[in-house]
Homo-oligomer: A and B are copies of this chain.
Amino acid sequence: MLEKKLGKQTVIFKQPPTIAATASIVGPKEGKGPLAPYFDQILDNELWGERSWEMAESKMVREVLSKTALNASKAVSRIDYILAGDLLNQCIAASFGVRESGIPMFGVFGACSTMGETMSLGAMLIDGGFASNVVCLTSSHFCSAERQFRFPLELGAQRPPTAQWTVTGAGGVLLSSEGTGPFVKKITTGKIVDMGIKDQNNMGAAMAPAAADTIFAHFEDTGLPQDYYDMIVTGDLGRIGREIADDLLSSNGIRIGSILNDCGVMIFDMKQDAHSGGSGCGCSATVFAGFLYDRLKKGKLNKILFVPTGALLSPTSVQQGESIPCIAHAVAIENG
């Protein structure tokens, strides 16, 4: 067993990276939700002066990169690596968003788990001694996601109550080898879990077993007591998925219902007509970069397990009758 490994899936950092700064930009609907005061910028409209929704999404990535560096008072040139990805085909929001940065870049794809994946890899690059500063970036956009994954918006297709609403937003997290916290203490990297769910309008149900699997592995690997964290916050299971994850964990002896929350539940109010809740790479990214980071910095939360969840489907895989493989990556963040 390696000195930095706990169990099969968990890494414990010897020199835990600091989260030096975050930044978030969200769309108008997110800006009317309960977390509005915590975002750096709220857009008036989804196009943000661009010619297409995809270009607007890229612009969010570009701007959130600048804001993240600015919030950390670091020159962009001091960033060693960018780790970035998104939901669009061939991850164009990320690639076009960082195109002018001149910074070495690793593109990742973890669907809505992307922020967890980039923070996991980024923390390893820093603790491993390969980087001093890494920026983790991801985004999603309701309009670009709808037309790519579902129906043209102009069709006005009706959505079932299990459906989730793709968040328009981009989040950035700057991990650094120097700083006073909050620190990334551990990561638990997910394996793919596929319980045979085929309904792409019920991704919470598809992703919940992956979230439960990673949270279970985290407690198994670390031996931590179940009440160790102030909050365990999944990526974007939504109301239905959150309940399923809680049930699955309870039936495996992990009773964390009182501290289990979900970014997809938190970002929209019930009366905002987002059905089961928010989703998309931008959901957990902006909730973390906006709300959760603020709570950590102010000491309102001191220990959280952040567990972004991803559904690794494509329209082609759905059309070919495949079920939905899912994954969740846990990042343990603590003050001090």
A35 on interface, CB distance cutoff 8 Å: no
- Is there an interface contact between B92 and A316, defined as CB atoms closer than 8 Å? yes
For the complex, would chain A's binding face be called helix, strand, loop or mixed by DSSP majority? loop
- Is there an interface contact between B130 and A129, defined as CB atoms closer than 8 Å? no
Collect the chain B residues with CB atoms within 8 Å of residue A120's CB. Answer: 106
- Is there an interface contact between B5 and A104, defined as CB atoms closer than 8 Å? no
Which of the residues B2, B102, B109 comes within 8 Å of A91, measured between beta carbons?
B109
Give the docked Cα–Cα distance between A2 and B130 (Å). Answer: 7
Closest CB in chain B relative to A63 CB, distance in Å: 17
- Is there an interface contact between B91 and A312, defined as CB atoms closer than 8 Å? yes
A3 on interface, CB distance cutoff 8 Å: yes
- Is there an interface contact between A317 and B11, defined as CB atoms closer than 8 Å? no
Task: Knowing A89-B315, A121-B121, A194-B99, say if A9 contacts B320 (CB, 8 Å).
Answer: no
Which of the residues B5, B124, B192 comes within 8 Å of A99, measured between beta carbons?
B192
On chain A, the number of residues with a Cβ less than 8 Å from chain B's Cβ atoms is 62
A95 on interface, CB distance cutoff 8 Å: yes
Which of the residues B89, B189, B312 comes within 8 Å of A95, measured between beta carbons?
B312
A127 on interface, CB distance cutoff 8 Å: yes
Collect the chain B residues with CB atoms within 8 Å of residue A85's CB. Answer: 109
Within 8 A of B (CB), among A152-208: 189-192, 194
- Is there an interface contact between B317 and A104, defined as CB atoms closer than 8 Å? no
Collect the chain B residues with CB atoms within 8 Å of residue A315's CB. Answer: 89
Number of copies: 2
- Is there an interface contact between B80 and A320, defined as CB atoms closer than 8 Å? no
Collect the chain B residues with CB atoms within 8 Å of residue A88's CB. Answer: 314, 316
- Is there an interface contact between A130 and B130, defined as CB atoms closer than 8 Å? no
Task: Knowing A106-B108, A189-B106, say if A54 contacts B317 (CB, 8 Å).
Answer: yes
Collect the chain B residues with CB atoms within 8 Å of residue A96's CB. Answer: 312, 317, 322, 325
30 contacts between A and B (CB under 8 A): A2-B130, A4-B130, A5-B131, A8-B104, A11-B130, A51-B320, A52-B320, A55-B320, A55-B322, A87-B90, A89-B316, A92-B313, A92-B316, A95-B192, A95-B325, A95-B327, A96-B322, A98-B192, A99-B194, A99-B325, A102-B191, A103-B191, A104-B190, A105-B189, A106-B108, A107-B327, A125-B128, A127-B128, A128-B128, A128-B130
